[in-house]
Structure formats: structure tokens, C-alpha cells
Amino acid sequence: DELFCGYNSYREAIEKGEDEVTKMMIEKLKNEGEMMVAINQVTAEFGVRMIQPFLSPDFVEYAKKIPISEKIHGPDDIQRKHPIRELAMDYGVPEVAAQKRKKALQYGSQIHKSLLKSRKTS
């Protein structure tokens, strides 16, 4: 999401131009890196090392070379992440799945609904 304009906030940023999108992307990558350091400190205590291959330095540099205009087509682009979707279809992922509208994890996984329900019963 950080590298391919997956977050909804990129739709707002693109209205201000590609430089604003690039600035946001750099900030989101920085935040993700800081979060991964903290996560790895915790998981290391249990002998687990978290790896995010899409945030490896080589992949990040590759993804940065893809033009912003290929990742997001404007402020009304609800799909976003077009290179990932195209790659998925090239590898045989059915179009209906590859083109499915993105949902934030907390909503798509029902975590948000469960948390709200648990707050009501507390």
C-alpha cells in the first residue's frame, strides 16, 4: 500500500500533484520502517523475525521507478495499485479477484466490528 498508492489518502494527495504523492509515500515508508523495528524487537524475544519482502531495499527501489501515474489515475481512482492488479492477472489470478475493491484491513477482516462489539459489552 505504501509503494503502490493503496491508501485512500493517496487519492487526496494526487489532487495536489505527484510531488505530494511522492512526499506522502516517503513518509509512509519511513513510518513503516520504524514500526517494523519495533515489531522485530518484540518478536525477537520469542525467536521470531518478521520479514516484509515488499519493503526490502531492492523492491522499494524498483517500485519507486514505476511512475505515480501508473499506480493511481487521479482523485476518483478507487482501485489504485494498478501495477499489482495487472501483475496478479498476468499470473492467472481471476480478474474478479485482482480487480476487487480494496478494503482497509480492520474493516475487511471484521476486526473493527468485533472491537466495537466488545466495547459495547464491556
Q: Compute the distance between CA of residue 1 and CA of residue 21 in angstroms, rounded to an integer.
A: 12
Determine the Cα–Cα distance for residues 10 and 18; give it in Å rounded to an integer. 10
Q: What is the pTM of this model?
A: 0.76
pLDDT, tens only, 66-122: 999 999 999 999 999 999 999 999 999 999 999 998 776 655 566 666 767 777 766
User: For residue 119, what pLDDT is reported?
Assistant: 73
Q: What is the pLDDT of residue 111?
A: 64
Using a 10 angstrom Cβ sphere, with 0-12 exposed, 13-18 middle and 19 or more buried, the burial of residue 93 is middle
Grid cell for residue 41: 524487537
